[in-house]
Chain A
Amino acid sequence: MNIAEIIGTNNFMVLFGSVLLTASTAVIGSFSYVRRQALIGDAIAHALLPGICLAFMWTGSKSPWVLVPGAILTGWLSVLCQETIVKYSKIKEDAALGIVLSVFFAFGIVLLTYIQQHGYASQSGLDKFLFGNAASLLLPDLLSFGLLALAVLLLVLAFYKEFLTYSFDPNFAETVGMSSTWLRLLLNGLTVVAVVIGIQAVGVVLMAAVLITPAAAARSWTHRLPTMILLAAAFSGSSAIAGVSISMLASGLPTGPLIVVVLSLIAVVSFLFAPQKGLISRNRRQQFHQRKINRENLLKLLYHHRSLGLKAIYERRPMEEQSIKKGLAELQQAQWVRQENKAYQLTEPGEKAARRIIKLHRLWEYYLSHKVHIAPDHVHEDAEMMEHILTPEMEALLEKELGFPEKDPHQSEIPYH
């Protein structure tokens, strides 16, 4: 085996390892996210430091088999402290989180400084825990953290239905015999382990990002927890691949921050482009409705005036000329409007469509004055909008409920055909 091959396999192992680390963190993060405990990971991450320092001072070893139990211990203690504070005092959750985070971290920094100043032989490298660096993970580290990550994933798989029920409705979970005390312990414990794992990849400061960002991004694409968990894992796994690869190619760039940057890009893309929930699709729907309203108002205008030139339309519609032209073009394309001697007129189907809008307008006015008991001189404004929004189903319901009245509150006839 030549050197190139060894480097090759090692790179592959690092890549594979960091995918496993970040993906398992994202799986647990999904539960934190739906339990509305997004910041708990941040507190735990800071609380690991004293545990790591204590474990090192006790044994003088930097092996993950020593440091990880120490980290888990103080991480878990911090969760316990936070819960105890909330339960037995008037301090609310966010404040308790802040208190616990800073106290544990301060204690950790004191210990770390003590270690550095008292010449422990092999102290260099402890701060790797603080900043994390997936690309520099060594094989033994990968093995131990990989095993932890696998254990986390297996536990989630085994207790999925319990975790789901407890996250949605803890009281109900308790009443069907799932012990909410045990489930809370287990979920909190898994969160601590997930944070210990995630810290290997990105470090304390960026921990909250790998725990919560994938879940938040995934939430905008789906409304089911299993899909959300898989997506979150996929997002953070691919961020890890991108982050580690970039940092290996352009050496000198830090892996953890790179992973978080890629992850944030995925999140931004999700918030913008996700169907239904995404900003852009919501915007597009709004624009679609605006164009429809514009067209329908033009239809009404032409219905009332029979035939109008472009200039006359501009005068009567308080819109930009550009959008009026566009609306007319759309109507012509639908063959609802035709142009004769530079004047616009409705076609037969166009007239029918206009009558429907007028019918909806007057039906809604009738509804407002007869059912909602709004004075007849106050109903026009509302109907001006609702005529565009009412769907055919609502239209049928309205006709049935009102019994096809002949005249609107202003004594204008309601056209049914």
Chain B
Amino acid sequence: MIIQVEKPVLEVHDLTVSYHQKPVLWGVDFSLPGGVMAGIMGPNGSGKSTLLKSIMGLLSLSGGRISVFSKNLDEVRKKVSYVPQKESVDWDFPATVKDVVMMGRYGHLGLLRRPGKIDQEIVEEALEQVNMQDLRNRQLGQLSGGQQQRVFLARALAQQADLYLMDEPFVGVDAATEQILVELLNGLKQKGKTLIVVHHNLQTAPDYFDWLVLLNQRLVASAPFEQAFTAALLQETYGGRLNMLSTLAQHMKKEQFAAREHR
């Protein structure tokens, strides 16, 4: 069940990605419409984070290409925001909440420029939106897991992007905070922004998403939520790896085969 769309915000063509020659994503090919909140779901190790990182240009691709707003990512970086997993950084880093949120403005500033008054206002507004304004001067080391996640979200809001890619924004967050975050994301969607969210919880997924990408090393589905969220497709996604793919990937790693012929 792979439904391609007209005028996509994001296009992924035949994407293959490998770590140390071991393919972790095989020939992923889909497109996403604008103004949706799309969930990316799949079991552990199915390549969800890898997909996001590939879209953000953080990994070198073995094959395929990606376009965002019909352009190369480099041309539209200011319109794209990436929220990494919160475990990916050192939360003992000497910085305050506000310092981190201000980083969301740096991409707009360019070299040698300091943040100005407008940037301060945007940061302040982002802090209010995630209800962290009272903790703006709190050091990172003193934040709870949910607060850390809100800091990352505020940083993304400060980027004022049109496309948001979020890697497990609800992990380590209590139910009440998750509700606040979801409402915030829905507000962004209402403003016509597009959100792509890596998510774990099958129970809450129907409440959150209007598009679903199912992944397990290969693309299982990419379609409007109701069409993709079926017992058969979920069984295909979560019912275990394709044995042949795993065996071949292990072999390629062992023998150091590349996924594509060198040019």
Contact = CB atoms under 8 A, between A and B. Distances in A.
Contact of A168 (B74, B81, B103): B103
Interface string A164-185: 1101110110111110000000
A224 interface: yes
A219 B95 CA distance: 11
A73 to B, nearest CB: 27
Contacts of A159: 111
B99 A224 contact: yes
Contact of B56 (A36, A158, A175, A178): A175
Given A175-B57, A175-B77, A223 B139 contact: yes
Contacts of A158: 111-112
A159 to B, nearest CB: 8
Interface stretch (B84-92, B180-188, B205-213, B232-240): B84-92
B94 A171 contact: no
B69 interface: no
Contacts of B77: 175-177
Given A169-B84, A223-B95, A224-B96, A164 B90 contact: no
A158 B139 CA distance: 25
Contacts of A172: 82, 84, 103, 155
A246 interface: no
Interface in B73-109: 74, 77-78, 80-82, 84, 88-90, 93-96, 99-100, 103, 106-107, 109
B176 interface: no
A172 B95 CA distance: 16
Q: On chain B, which size bracket covers the interface?
A: 20 to 34
A176 B95 contact: no
Pick the most buried of B81, B107, B109, B140: most chain A CB atoms within 10 A of its CB: B107
Contacts of B141: 223
Interface SS of chain A: helix
Interface in A205-229: 219, 222-225, 228
Interface residues of A, number: 24
B86 to A, nearest CB: 10
Contacts of A174: 56-58
Contacts of B90: 34, 36, 168
A225 B99 CA distance: 9
Chain A CB within 10 A, most for which of B77, B81, B90, B95: B95
A168 B57 contact: no
A161 interface: yes
A366 B83 CA distance: 41
B241 interface: no
B35 to A, nearest CB: 22
A12 B80 CA distance: 54
Contact of A169 (B88, B112, B139): B88
Contact of B94 (A36, A162, A165, A223): A223
Contacts of B84: 169, 171-172
Contacts of B16: none
B139 A161 contact: no
A244 to B, nearest CB: 29
A271 to B, nearest CB: 16
A169 B93 CA distance: 10
A167 B78 CA distance: 21
Nearest to B82: A175
B58 A165 contact: no
Contacts of B106: 161-162, 165, 176, 178
Contacts of A168: 89-90, 93, 95, 100, 103
A228 B96 CA distance: 13
B65 interface: no
Given A164-B103, A176-B106, 4 more contacts: A172-B82, A172-B155, A223-B96, A225-B94
22 contacts: A34-B93, A158-B111, A161-B106, A161-B109, A165-B103, A168-B103, A169-B89, A172-B82, A172-B103, A174-B58, A175-B57, A175-B107, A177-B74, A177-B77, A177-B107, A178-B106, A223-B94, A223-B96, A224-B94, A224-B96, A224-B99, A228-B94
Q: Closest 6 CB pairs between A and B? A: A176-B107, A223-B139, A175-B82, A177-B77, A175-B56, A169-B89
